[in-house]
Amino acid sequence: MMKTINYLSIVLVLAELSGCATYTEPAKDEPQATLHIITHLPRGVTASWMSYDDAQCESQATMLGAFSALYDGEKKIQLRANETRYLRVNATSHLAGDGSVCTAKGMGPNCHDNLTCTVQFEITPVAGKIYRTELLGTGKECAIKIADERTGHPDPSFKQIPTQKSCMPRNSVPR
């Protein structure tokens, strides 16, 4: 367990050094929506939720959350409403394996040799809405469900898009 905690500490420090911006909540007087992130991760799997200004992930990344099975996989984030952004979610397995099997549920997530499954969305949050996002991922497979938390229905303001090659983790090859 201590080894995993040390690994996660290193990952967070590297994320900061690699140009990730720290999440900043919108000003109280700005229109905003809530992103309710829920992860269901097995032991040995981590997930990162990043936000970008562009679909190619070339702008500075904003880290919305990093999760593992070691602690509660739930977090609420305030997003600026009426502003189009791009959400990238990675689920990475740190368990030994050959990586030969990789399946994706839903529309076109990419899987990589290092057992990372990546999914990308174009989002334009609507003021006052709460978006419930659930991640089920193992690195070999992943699925993300997004719905209006109040109604339970899918919301058109979150559209899954094909993951751009430039948005994939470094040193990974799409399958």
Full residue range of the structural domain in which residue 12 is found: 2-167
Residue 175 inside a domain? The answer is no
Distance separating alpha carbons of residues 29 and 37, to the nearest angstrom: 23
Domain CATH number, residue 73: 2.60.40
Residue 173 inside a domain? The answer is no
Residue 40 inside a domain? The answer is yes
pTM of the model: 0.74
The total domain count for the chain is: 1
Residue 70 inside a domain? The answer is yes
Residue 50 inside a domain? The answer is yes
Element (H, E) at 92: strand 85-93
- What is the chain's pLDDT, residue by residue, as a tens digit (175 residues)? 555 444 444 444 444 434 456 677 888 999 999 999 998 887 778 888 999 999 998 888 899 988 887 776 899 999 999 999 999 988 887 765 544 444 444 444 555 445 777 889 999 999 999 999 988 766 667 788 899 999 999 988 999 998 888 887 764 544 3
Residue 71 inside a domain? The answer is yes
Residue 57 inside a domain? The answer is yes
Contact 73, 39 (CB under 8 A): yes
Contact 47, 91 (CB under 8 A): yes
Q: Rounded to whole angstroms, what are the CA distances from 22 to 65, 169, 172?
A: 10, 19, 24
